[in-house]
Structure 1
């Protein structure tokens, strides 16, 4: 029998300080952690899905919102990374809020995170069935066919998550590598081929397309955002989920060091590569007004510039990137369900908090998450605006999660013990200022009336969560929701002071 890995033993000992025993296998290394964060962001998925919406709402000049969104989300990633280094426990936002504020607020944010993860996997996988496969295989995407294809994609992801974490990780690592190489190659080819053929139109970068000029740059009014402001949704939808690496903290080797770096590196890589790609696409777009009418504008530009064979390869790459994105989302949602169930505060926790002895995965939590995703899909499948509603909710919820956690970090940062593996140092205040300003601005965009159905989903899920939280408080009392090991960081610091 081989000797135990000292590093793994050390990670397990640090986990014990938070009141938990090592239950999941620590297999995730540096690239795998980065791949989890990058796959969730998935620039191929986000840009392919939302570029057409930006052309219609903001015109091609709307792409200049992207660098601002990247800077804002990078600041958020640094702030959350600082928390992940101090609280390296599966459950991410739920754990952070529970231990920094109190378990009641932690439960609320955990439920919000769960409602986000439940809907975003459907939104992402629905894209494959509704906009890509019909073009790739040349068939009409009826509501029923789209429903069935999405259901099959969800099933494939669930099988990987349920039966083998190592295989799920291998698949994700391979698909992320493919996406990185493919996006770099496509970007370079677009720049070079369009330039050689004389099809580069610099004026596109500053064109408003068919969008009216009047009030274009305005912030908007109480119920609507200005045209250019809506362009921020391109970055706001795409550059999210990077903190998913933190939700695998108990499966990651040296998580205090690895996870924070994976988060900000994924945002930076996605931001730079994504912006170069959308600039290349916009330069080669030809007539942006005509392009805005297409359901697959990215694929159209690739086909017109690089030919149908490359366009087909692009579509295949996007399908694989979306599959990886959905796979990581499902892994994240299952881990959150398991983490909250382990603390006996998720509906039906007795079942979902178990680890399968045979597969070493949260098998039953995976089944629950899969069934719920299929129910959400069934509810939205016959709606003509299903894709927009799903993506709207999947953009709104992360903004709420990030704002809550960053504000909490801002309030509690001085009481946190320093991490010798990752900390912001003198940059802490500037980073937090940028993050708070960005998140306040992003949340203000969702006052637009086009998000009313997304808000309806959020409100319904919050009501369900509030009812269950009320049940927990009524049956256990507030003190019955304390976290294992310690109620908060403050309690731990007091305990350490007493020992000293």
Structure 2
């Protein structure tokens, strides 16, 4: 398929929209968006200590399970993105392939996830990284203020220039890729020369009792090793953000699917190598588990303070880019829902700035929403970590619902415009489904009770607004998607046309 043909077939006019956003995002920028959201530097730096405490060093062996599972999910998402390359991703797919009510619910859950996770990610800079990097005593007050500033800076970039947002993100992703590769090589070589590599650490349970380590758990608890899965589940999410820039991406049906699965694989392979070498050099894992910054401690001890400081700078860059991409993704989602007149404040939010060519009002709105969430929870550190748990639970729900949608509708999907699972469709769906069932069962653990409460509160708020929409618009018909048509009817019409041509 030529670029011209692809560009024409990918026009949002096919789905009832006019082209309002500038289509300039290329292949690497699309990959960088997906990779930055995943951000292995962010995820591993912030969760490795938790895994040492819950699962011991051997918990890192759950990482490959997550990588395989999320790769399968990314492939299915790619197949949908190649069929409906429209901003709004799961909201659009569910609305058009199932019904608009389910689509709205999916959009609201996605919005909830993005609004929560951008706060949790940005707060990590202020509460965990900067106090160590700049050597000052962190507290709830200065962490709140710094997070406010970080959110504003990200909001300014997203509001005023998509091009500059992508340039900053491309730089951050390049730095993260190069930096993580160098760290893996340097740590391994120096550790080997200094004879500090301890293979036994890879199979150690640390302070976690060996008895019952691999147990499945009970109805309200999860076994220690399985709990280690959260290391990957916290980290390898958000790859679908590339699909939310579909209307700004050149040849999105071809570029977006590739960006998603490549981001998962690159993050998975590089992240696992980093985990292995850090664990080999962990020294006493029980002692290391007591540190608030175990990754930085290992790098500082093995490579010295200069490289250790460099790692912290790299982590700050990665976290800033991660939060910026999350914010950009959230802005596109609420803009897409507002374009269909089904998000609070939609009349203003759906406007595209004539000066900047961006959904500027949507950007301001999303920053204000994030600031409100921050204001509610900033002085409650435990609550913010619960928000991180909620931000892991929510994408699992989104992924599971989308995979189920694909399974139900796979025989009546629109034609692919650039990517198809082909004969691998059934194996991919089986593996993706098995992984998501396994992941969702982890959240039965009592430690996630608060996360479920936060999710329930947001669902209730969404339910109230959905009820208002249905009442004010005369029911489900009032939520019909632009240019929505029956795929089954279209297939029947094509079959009848083919039959008439054959008879003629």
Q: TM-score, normalised by structure 2?
A: 0.96
Correspondence 1:443 to 2:440 = yes
Given that residues 216 and 228 in structure 1 are in contact (C-alpha distance below 8 angstroms), is that contact kept between their aligned partners in structure 2? yes
Q: Distance in 1 between matches of 2:254 and 2:72?
A: 18
Given that residues 7 and 250 in structure 2 are in contact (C-alpha distance below 8 angstroms), is that contact kept between their aligned partners in structure 1? no
Supply the RMSD in Å over aligned alpha carbons: 1.5
Instruction: Give the structure 1 partner of residue 502 of structure 2.
Output: none
Q: Distance in 1 between matches of 2:223 and 2:11?
A: 49
Instruction: Give the structure 2 partner of residue 456 of structure 1.
Output: 453
Q: Distance in 2 between matches of 1:386 and 1:498?
A: 59
Given that residues 125 and 326 in structure 1 are in contact (C-alpha distance below 8 angstroms), is that contact kept between their aligned partners in structure 2? yes
Shift of 1:213: 1.9
In 2 relative to 1, CA 28–149 (structure 1 residues): closer, same or farther, beyond 3 Å? same
Q: Which runs of 5+ in 2 are unaligned?
A: 499-504
Correspondence 1:272 to 2:269 = yes
Match of 1:238 among 235, 250, 258: 235
Instruction: Give the structure 1 partner of residue 422 of structure 2.
Output: 425
Correspondence 1:253 to 2:288 = no
Q: Distance in 2 between matches of 1:130 and 1:469?
A: 36
Q: Distance in 2 between matches of 1:11 and 1:387?
A: 45
Instruction: Give the structure 2 partner of residue 302 of structure 1.
Output: 299
Equivalent residues in 2 for 1:397-408, closer than 5 Å = 397-408=394-405
Shift of 1:12: 6.9
Correspondence 1:134 to 2:131 = yes
Shift of 1:219: 1.1
Instruction: Give the structure 2 partner of residue 107 of structure 1.
Output: 104
Q: Distance in 2 between matches of 1:57 and 1:163?
A: 43
Correspondence 1:341 to 2:358 = no
Q: Which runs of 5+ in 1 are unaligned?
A: none
Q: Distance in 1 between matches of 2:10 and 2:243?
A: 18
Given that residues 11 and 253 in structure 1 are in contact (C-alpha distance below 8 angstroms), is that contact kept between their aligned partners in structure 2? no
Instruction: Give the structure 2 partner of residue 479 of structure 1.
Output: 477
In 2 relative to 1, CA 154–183 (structure 1 residues): closer, same or farther, beyond 3 Å? same
Shift of 1:14: 3.3
Q: TM-score, normalised by structure 1?
A: 0.97
Residue-pair matches, total: 496
Shift of 1:386: 3.2
Equivalent residues in 2 for 1:79-94, closer than 5 Å = 79-94=76-91
Q: Deviations over 1:46-74 (max 9, x none)?
A: 00010000000000000000001100000
Shift of 1:9: 8.6
**Would you identify which runs of 4 or more consecutive aligned residues in structure 1 move more than 6 Å?**
none
Correspondence 1:16 to 2:9 = no
In 2 relative to 1, CA 346–420 (structure 1 residues): closer, same or farther, beyond 3 Å? closer
Instruction: Give the structure 2 partner of residue 322 of structure 1.
Output: 319
In 2 relative to 1, CA 6–61 (structure 1 residues): closer, same or farther, beyond 3 Å? closer
Q: Distance in 2 between matches of 1:272 and 1:121?
A: 25
